[in-house]
Amino acid sequence: MGTAEFVGLYLLNSLFWKWVLSWGGAQWLEGWKSMVFLDWFTWHWNAEQIRLYALVIWSFSTVFFLLGLFKPEWRF
C-alpha cells in the first residue's frame, strides 16, 4: 500500500470517528445501528459509552498510523 493510500484511509477513518465524537454520530448510532457499524457487543450502549469507545479506537488507530507511516512494512 502506498503512502497516499495509507494517509487517505486514515483520514477517512478519522472523519468517521470525529463524526461519532463531535457531530452527533454517537446519538445516531445508539441501539441496533451501533451493532451494525461498530461491533456486535455495542448494541445496548448509550451515546456516552459509544463516544468513549470511539476515543479509544481513534487513539489506537492514530498510534498504528504513525507506526505505519514511519515503517511501511507494518502497513496492513
Q: What is the pLDDT of residues 3-27, one digit of tens each?
A: 999 999 999 999 999 999 999 989 9
pLDDT value of residue 68: 95
Residue 76 has pLDDT above 80, yes or no: no
Residue 43 has pLDDT above 90, yes or no: no
Q: Report whether 40 contacts 68 (CB < 8 A).
A: no
Long-range contact set of residues 12-17: C-beta below 8 Å, sequence gap at least 24:
13/58, 13/61, 14/58, 14/61, 14/62, 17/54, 17/55, 17/57, 17/58, 17/61
pTM here is 0.85
Average pLDDT of the residues of the chain: 92
